[in-house]
Structure 1
Amino acid sequence: MKASTETIKSAYKGSEKKLHSEAMAPQWMIYGTEKVMQYQLDKNLVLDPCILKEFPKPQPGHKYMLYAHVPFCNTLCTYCTFHRFLFKEYKAREYFVNLRKEMQMVHDLGYNFTSMYVGGGTTTILMDELIKTIELARKLFPSMGEVSCETDPQVMANPDIIYLKGLVDRMSVGVQSFDDNILKMIERDKFGTGEEVYENILKAKEIFPICNVDMIFGFRGQTDEIVCSDMEKVVALSPRQITTYPLMVTSQTKRSVKDSLASPPEVMAQQYRIILDTVAPHYNQLSSWAFGKANNEGFDEYVIDNDEYLGIGSGAFSFLGDSLYVNTFSLRRYNERISSGRDGVERKRTFSKHEILQYRLLLGLFAGRLSRKYFREVHNVRLDTALMKEVLALKLAGAIKENPEDKDQFIITDRGKLLGLVMMKDFYTAMDNVRAELRKPLKEEDM
């Protein structure tokens, strides 16, 4: 499979700005979409035990992105589904040392990367270690372009954030809401009031070429008025990018979240309509839930523009060739394996060509950039033939329609954007369920 970010980006053109969103999908269609996604994900996301000495070698002509995971936080948010542990400095420093060792091992295999994404956890938990890690990445992989990183709003007020200038091209800040009651309910008031968070980002956003603000909708008690106010405030803040995630309830969080923090699912379509009508007139839509001031820049869903990526660190995912690899979720085993010169992979799943095409169709719908040209040039198939049932279903649902100005490019309707959001939410929820299952056996000595 030829992976070409340039081909993807040239084939995909950003969505047009609209003053008002089209009609959203009826509730039965949303539920039906979730049922189909659940069936496919239950069937396909089954990982087999796999102990590797090293990753497969890179393939000539393929382009790769590097993902690095930092699984530490000072406090653990109840709704968060990512792989993370309570911060202990001695453990975090040992981990960063091994993270850089794994990066060196990947380099020695012959990998080069076009970009890097540092996720967490709280990636800035030890600023000096993060700086060393990014500096090493830029040294080992001189052709690396954009480096993206995540942090919390409080870090944006730390004077030391200036030391990341020139190292991080895109900083993503998890705000979630500016409403003080919502922040208190989800235990994010520890980062300050909505007004304080707003001011912190306003002061620090000029440090990075791209500042992204993450917002979440679908919290219980988060009325349409609150969603509208949040969107108006983030637009006034004017970051380079805005990401508006729906709250994701997984097997890991459902007991603490579903009944206490999550809104009923039927509110999602209405709140999504508010987001489109409030944000889309001022930004280009990069995906179902991401917006940017330019339509050709990277964003949180790096899987859209990168067919293949390699993940380092505990709990990191890699997609290489036709296979998904998952590193151990045990800090102890991760440190032991990397220290002994082996990689951290403990799970693997190899996908069929049809399953990979279905996955790329999902990403194309979600991105609002579904291209026949991409499937033809990258996967060597005719989209309408290889995925005939899926394309027909999307047309009948009113999610996509032919573009009279470009036969290679489908038009994604607002209904299609909503269904893409639903499908991607279900996909990430399933991936979070995988994380939960792999974390379940961990003992105290593994953390």
Structure 2
Amino acid sequence: MEERSTETIRNAYKGNVKHGKSEAIAPKWVLQSTEAVMQYYLDRDLTLDRCVLEKFPLPQEGHKYMLYAHIPFCKTLCSYCTFHRFLFKEHKAREYFVNLRKEMEAVRAMGYDFTSMYVGGGTTTVLMDELAKTLELAKKLFPSIKEVSVETDPQIMGDPQIHMLEGLVDRMSIGVQSFDDGILKMTERDKFGTGQEVFENIAKAQELFPICNVDMIFGFRGQTDEILHRDLETLLKLSPRQITTYPLMVTSQTKRSVKDSIAAPHDIMAGQYRMILDMLTEDYTQLSAWAFGKSNNEGFDEYVIDNDEYLGVGSGAFSFLGDSLYVNTFSLRRYNERIGSGNNGVERRKVFGKRSILQYRLLLQLFAGRISRKYFKEVHGVDLDRALFKEVLALKLAGAIKENPEDHDRFIVTDKGKLLGLVMMKDFYSAMDNIRAELRKPLKEADM
């Protein structure tokens, strides 16, 4: 594999130019066929083997890495969320942060450095002082970190302690989901305040961080076009640097609790997505199928897009290094024991073949709205049109991509292609959520 140039990877995923009214509508059968194909590959490839790993593989010269840190605690649990999280208990959370920093130090001792850091959860800001201490250590251990992205909830943005993170966080991502009080109540998000209170908290705190990203979700039951339109107008009034609009992801593990309860029928998604494109791309550049930014090269919300390889620390964290996906133990008890005794937290691994990795990168580039032949040549050492002939042909025949007469290196991803990329990425994340749920299922009370 060729040397992994950060510039090559970043250029492969730069956002789209602004455009006029979208045509992001695809027939229902096209969406269903896309999901069926995705499900086939996910069932085939996303199976994890048991693995007790003593240490991560050593960093490779010329490779660039991102650091992911997972904080698995929330003060209340949302019914539709399948991320790895536990009910917050302060003594357990403080012990966890101590071991998280120990794991970071062990990774540094192996020779790793990182160009960026992403902190996800759970609620990452559940203990602001511990998070600040962790970010300070990360910047000391890994001097190449240029940007730090952190997730949080909208209520935290109104907490005076948020100032503890000023100067440490470059991008704060806030899970709003909707400003509509009815949607917030249905999804149990009213615990973070009314839509107006959420708006005011974010408006006050935006000046603290170079980038504030607002996460929204569409595809809720009862979320009419009027409600979505009003949410988008509120977003434009708030004018954050970045906006992410996720489709509601209902996994096989959550269907019983949310199907026919908070999830809208599948066929409304395409129409709502068209409305999102039409309203946001007047003032924002599209960075990926569901991310929008004020400039053309803002940090993406999906760290997997901008980073071919990343290393995860913390319970339930995922890493992708070389040809392998690694997953840390979901048991807090085992995580604390393993890290406390100087061992690694990994308990699952999946080794991928070359073709599977190429298909995965093609998916991410379709999702990002740019497919670069140069990227596949320089980073993976292959001719894209030959290595993935069937996949490229299928995308062309579906009207998802077309040749760019001004730049042979880059395909043009159509609005239909962005919609299909969004559907496939939604299915990919749903499959990852299913993995999380399966790994959490055997946990006992002593593990939590």
Both proteins in one fold, TM over 0.5: yes
Q: 1:287-306 deviations in whole A, cap 9, x for unaligned?
A: 00000011212121111110
CA pair 303-23 structure 1, distance change in 2 beyond 3 A: closer
Q: 1:41-92 deviations in whole A, cap 9, x for unaligned?
A: 0000000000011111100110000000000000000111210000000000
Structure 1 segment 389-404 matched on structure 2, within 5 A? 389-404=390-405
Q: Which amino acid aligns with 1:249?
A: V
Cα distance between partner residues in 2 of 1:292 and 1:48:
38
Cα distance between partner residues in 1 of 2:404 and 2:236:
30
Contact kept, 8 Å, 1:218 with 1:267, in 2: the verdict is: yes
Cα distance between partner residues in 1 of 2:161 and 2:357:
42
Contact kept, 8 Å, 1:251 with 1:436, in 2: the verdict is: no
Q: 1:125-184 deviations in whole A, cap 9, x for unaligned?
A: 000000010000000011111000000000000111111111000000000000000000
Contact kept, 8 Å, 1:376 with 1:383, in 2: the verdict is: yes
Q: Which residue of 2 aligns with 1:58?
A: 59
Shift of 1:19: 2.5
Q: Which residue of 2 aligns with 1:258?
A: 259
Contact kept, 8 Å, 2:24 with 2:270, in 1: the verdict is: no
Cα distance between partner residues in 2 of 1:5 and 1:267:
38
9-18 or 143-152, which moves further after superposition?
9-18
Cα distance between partner residues in 1 of 2:313 and 2:413:
34
Structure 1 segment 27-426 matched on structure 2, within 5 A? 27-426=28-427
RMSD of aligned alpha carbons: 0.8
Q: Which amino acid aligns with 1:416?
A: G
Shift of 1:4: 2.6
Contact kept, 8 Å, 1:328 with 1:344, in 2: the verdict is: yes
Cα distance between partner residues in 1 of 2:12 and 2:421:
19
Secondary structure of 2:175's partner? strand
Shift of 1:12: 4.1
Cα distance between partner residues in 2 of 1:172 and 1:10:
23
Q: Which amino acid aligns with 1:371?
A: S
Contact kept, 8 Å, 1:244 with 1:289, in 2: the verdict is: yes
Cα distance between partner residues in 1 of 2:438 and 2:4:
31
Contact kept, 8 Å, 1:3 with 1:308, in 2: the verdict is: no
Cα distance between partner residues in 2 of 1:304 and 1:341:
31
Secondary structure of 1:69's partner? strand
Contact kept, 8 Å, 2:300 with 2:306, in 1: the verdict is: no
Secondary structure of 2:82's partner? coil
Contact kept, 8 Å, 1:328 with 1:345, in 2: the verdict is: yes
Cα distance between partner residues in 1 of 2:269 and 2:349:
34
Q: Which amino acid aligns with 2:48?
A: L
Cα distance between partner residues in 1 of 2:328 and 2:11:
33
TM-score normalised over the length of structure 2: 0.99
Cα distance between partner residues in 2 of 1:241 and 1:296:
11
Shift of 1:13: 3.9
**Residues matched between the structures, number:** 447
Shift of 1:23: 4.5
Unpaired segments of 5 or more residues in structure 2? none
Q: Which residue of 1 aligns with 2:21?
A: 20
Cα distance between partner residues in 2 of 1:408 and 1:343:
41
Contact kept, 8 Å, 1:3 with 1:306, in 2: the verdict is: no
Unpaired segments of 5 or more residues in structure 1? none
Secondary structure of 1:116's partner? strand
Cα distance between partner residues in 2 of 1:64 and 1:194:
38
Secondary structure of 1:60's partner? coil
Contact kept, 8 Å, 2:9 with 2:306, in 1: the verdict is: yes
Q: Which amino acid aligns with 1:32?
A: S
Give the ranges of 4+ consecutive aligned residues of structure 1 lying more than 4 Å apart after TM superposition. none
Shift of 1:232: 1.2
CA pair 12-301 structure 1, distance change in 2 beyond 3 A: closer
Secondary structure of 1:288's partner? coil
CA pair 59-23 structure 1, distance change in 2 beyond 3 A: closer
Cα distance between partner residues in 1 of 2:185 and 2:24:
33
Question: Percent same amino acid among aligned pairs?
Answer: 77
Secondary structure of 2:10's partner? helix
Q: 1:327-381 deviations in whole A, cap 9, x for unaligned?
A: 0000000000000100100000000000000000000000001111110111110
Shift of 1:18: 1.8
TM-score normalised over the length of structure 1: 0.99
Cα distance between partner residues in 1 of 2:297 and 2:256:
39
Contact kept, 8 Å, 1:4 with 1:307, in 2: the verdict is: no
Contact kept, 8 Å, 1:175 with 1:214, in 2: the verdict is: yes
Cα distance between partner residues in 2 of 1:179 and 1:259:
19
Shift of 1:3: 2.7
Secondary structure of 1:147's partner? strand
Q: Which amino acid aligns with 1:343?
A: N
242-251 or 297-306, which moves further after superposition?
297-306
Cα distance between partner residues in 1 of 2:318 and 2:392:
28
